[in-house]
């Protein structure tokens, strides 16, 4: 049983559920968060081992997320930022593409890079200004077409799509074919173009922890997996029952459907994230490396240990290689293939690297193919006393987890 007698139970202690609970608590409501796992954070968890901080899957916080700017205290998170640009691995070379306005020192590298044509580079600028000029809400009422088609219609060459947009957006949406809705693409591209990609000094889980810190300890319970809604309460998998007047399902999309008794199938994309350590990183900048060749398992590679020194013990660095899509080999074979590709990229120095851990995140992100709902029009109230929140039905991201959590709370509060 809970220490308090809650009016409202939030099922799920991910970012959406915690945000919902925090808003309700601040409004003076008695709220309890029942989290099924051993800690809060949901899909934003960080493990600490031997002085390394390993996020469960490579993730970044975009400082331009409108909801994050009001819901989070960036200073307290001690955000560390990536350099504004990417490095594309293509035809045996590394090509740098940077935003000429924010990183003018890389202007010539970008102009003469062998990724796409000169016309493609001008089109990137056109896309940038096109997206900046429009109110973001308008993205969700524009035609809902697959991103690949949008990019082709916008005039980008096949080479530009394959060697830049595909690894960039597949790494974000986890959809290897970039068939995700162009609304998702536009939103995310605008975020990357308007702000910085950042990680908290002490790991991504600091984000849900910061939200949870506004709640009294006794308002959050872990190891409390809900098996069903009972009408006036919830039943946990260990048989315990807790009653309350109102419920918020802040679980992932599939679990929410299950708890609501719906059987509609839902597909998810997977991510494998392999962490390595070495004495020093293979390059001197803090940019994301994209696989522009389209061959080999890796979609992107980063050095979180360079972006935030908190991610690795003194004298060591931490590196992450991300693989998406279906993997037909076991973990050992995947590691061999990834290490082989890294050796091809960075040379024999990779033989000195040490593999730390591989995360296999099976339900990382829901499929975001069109049609997608307009997240600004989603009603969080499902039944008389049942509400939902979560990043699904939107652009699966920190932005929409925070937004949907606040919106569900405001619906309960009748705002």
Ligand X SMILES: Cc1cc2nc3c(=O)[nH]c(=O)nc-3n(C[C@H](O)[C@H](O)[C@H](O)COP(=O)(O)OP(=O)(O)OC[C@H]3O[C@@H](n4cnc5c(N)ncnc54)[C@H](O)[C@@H]3O)c2cc1C
- Which stretches of the chain bind ligand X, using CB under 6 A? 11-17, 34-37, 42-44, 57, 59-60, 225-226, 250-252, 255, 271, 361, 364-365, 390-391, 396-398, 401
Give the CA angle between residues 304, 306, 308 to the nearest 5°: 70
Min dist. Cβ of residue 407 to ligand X (A): 12
244 vs 250, beta carbon nearer ligand X: 250
156 vs 247, beta carbon nearer ligand X: 247
Min dist. Cβ of residue 391 to ligand X (A): 4
Residues 250-282 as b/e (b if ≥16 CB within 10 A, e otherwise) read bbbbbbbbebeeeeeeeeebbbbbbbbbbeebb
234 vs 350, beta carbon nearer ligand X: 234
Length of the chain: 415
Helix, coil or strand: residue 42: coil
Residue 186's alpha-carbon distances to 119, 147, 190, 248, in angstroms, are 20, 9, 6, 30
Min dist. Cβ of residue 279 to ligand X (A): 27
Min dist. Cβ of residue 112 to ligand X (A): 29
151 vs 242, beta carbon nearer ligand X: 242
Diameter of the chain by CA atoms?
65
| Contact call for residues 413 and 24 (beta carbons, < 8 A) | yes
| Contact call for residues 359 and 365 (beta carbons, < 8 A) | no
Min dist. Cβ of residue 14 to ligand X (A): 2
149 vs 270, beta carbon nearer ligand X: 270
99 vs 271, beta carbon nearer ligand X: 271
Min dist. Cβ of residue 155 to ligand X (A): 28
Q: In what helix (H) or strand (E) does residue 23 lie, and over which residues does it extend?
A: helix 15-26
Extract the tokens encoding 349.
Answer: 């120095």
């Amino acid at each position: 049983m809970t220490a308090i007698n809650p009016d409202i139970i939030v099922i799920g202690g991910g970012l959406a559920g915690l945000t919902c609970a925090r808003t309700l608590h601040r409004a003076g409501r008695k709220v309890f968060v029942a989290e099924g796992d051993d800690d809060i954070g949901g899909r934003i968890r960080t493990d600490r081992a031997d002085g390394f901080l390993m996020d469960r899957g490579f993730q970044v916080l975009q400082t331009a997320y409108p909801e994050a700017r009001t819901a989070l205290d960036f200073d307290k998170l001690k955000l560390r930022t990536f350099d504004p640009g990417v490095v594309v691995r293509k035809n045996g070379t590394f090509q740098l593409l940077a935003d000429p306005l924010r990183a003018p020192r890389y202007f010539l590298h970008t102009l003469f890079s062998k990724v796409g044509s000169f016309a493609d580079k001008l089109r990137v600028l056109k896309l940038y200004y096109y997206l900046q000029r429009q109110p973001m809400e308008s993205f969700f009422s524009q035609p809902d077409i697959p991103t690949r088609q949008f990019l082709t219609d916008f005039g980008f060459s096949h080479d530009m799509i394959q060697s830049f947009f595909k690894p960039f957006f597949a790494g974000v949406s986890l959809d290897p074919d970039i068939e995700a809705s162009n609304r998702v693409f536009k939103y995310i591209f605008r975020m990357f173009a308007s702000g910085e990609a950042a990680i908290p000094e002490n790991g991504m889980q600091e984000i849900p922890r910061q939200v949870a810190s506004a709640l009294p300890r006794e308002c959050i319970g872990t190891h409390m997996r809900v098996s069903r809604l009972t009408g006036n309460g919830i039943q946990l998998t260990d048989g315990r029952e807790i009653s309350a007047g109102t419920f918020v399902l802040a679980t992932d999309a599939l679990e929410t459907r299950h708890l609501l008794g719906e059987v509609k199938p839902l597909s998810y994309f997977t991510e494998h994230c392999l962490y390595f350590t070495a004495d020093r990183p293979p390059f001197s900048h803090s940019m994301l490396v994209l696989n522009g060749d389209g061959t080999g398992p890796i979609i992107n590679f980063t050095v979180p240990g360079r972006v935030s020194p908190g991610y690795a013990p003194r004298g060591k660095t931490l590196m992450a290689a991300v693989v998406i899509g279906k993997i037909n080999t076991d973990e050992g074979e995947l590691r061999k293939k990834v290490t082989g590709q890294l050796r091809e990229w960075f040379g024999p120095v990779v033989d000195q690297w040490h593999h730390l851990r591989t995360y296999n995140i099976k339900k990382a992100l829901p499929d975001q193919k069109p049609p997608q709902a307009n997240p600004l029009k989603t009603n969080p109230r499902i039944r008389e006393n049942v509400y939902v929140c979560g990043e699904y039905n939107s652009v699966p991201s920190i932005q929409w987890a925070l937004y949907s959590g606040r919106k569900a709370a405001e619906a309960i509060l009748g705002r």
